Amino acid sequence: MTDQHDNPIRQAIAEAIAENDVILFMKGTPDAPACGFSARTVGVLQSLDTRFAAVDILPDPRIRQELSALSQWPTIPQLFVGGELVGGCDIVTEMFETGELAELLGAEGHTGETSTPQADAAPLQIENRLS
């Protein structure tokens, strides 16, 4: 396996995860998701008023390859909180419905049944430095 320091894409991914408390690697952008799973995950985060960074994995197939190698998770999207992989869309949705995601994100009082999307919950935009 390639050492992270010898692989600039993997290093950039690791730095992005370390530098952003909540970061979503997705297909497309939060304003224009390119798949339903990414759209659903963005919707969940926005309904919890969560500020998050996002990286579009589509511009370069190496981003997805290196992200999956780093996280040991094969599917996209991938949500990281506090530098740790939370999971993909199904896990994020399940955690949202049980209230576990709100607790993890510090959005107390929010559950899957009572949350409503907030128009001003715009995600942080980070430059895609991975290509």
**127 lies in a domain?**
no
- CA 30/CA 26 separation, integer angstroms: 8
Q: Is residue 129 part of a domain?
A: no
Helix (H, G, I), strand (E, B) or coil at 91: helix
CATH code for the domain in which residue 65 is found: 3.40.30.10
Range of the domain at 67: 4-105
114 falls within a domain: no
Over its length of 131 residues, how does the chain's per-residue pLDDT go in tens digits? 445 568 899 999 999 999 999 999 999 999 999 999 999 999 999 999 999 999 999 999 999 999 999 999 999 999 999 999 999 999 999 999 999 999 999 975 555 543 333 334 444 445 555 55
The domain tally of the chain equals 1
Tell me the one-letter amino acid at 126: I
Q: Output the pTM of the full model.
A: 0.81
Q: For the chain, what percentages of helix, strand and coil (3-state, to nearest 5) are there?
A: 40, 15, 45
The verdict on residue 16 lying in a domain is: yes
In a 13 Å sphere around the CA of 120, the CA atoms on its Cβ side amount to 0
Per-residue confidence (pLDDT) for residue 121, from 0 to 100: 42
User: What pLDDT, on a 0 to 100 scale, did the predictor assign at position 6?
Assistant: 80
- Please give the DSSP secondary-structure letter assigned to residue 62: H
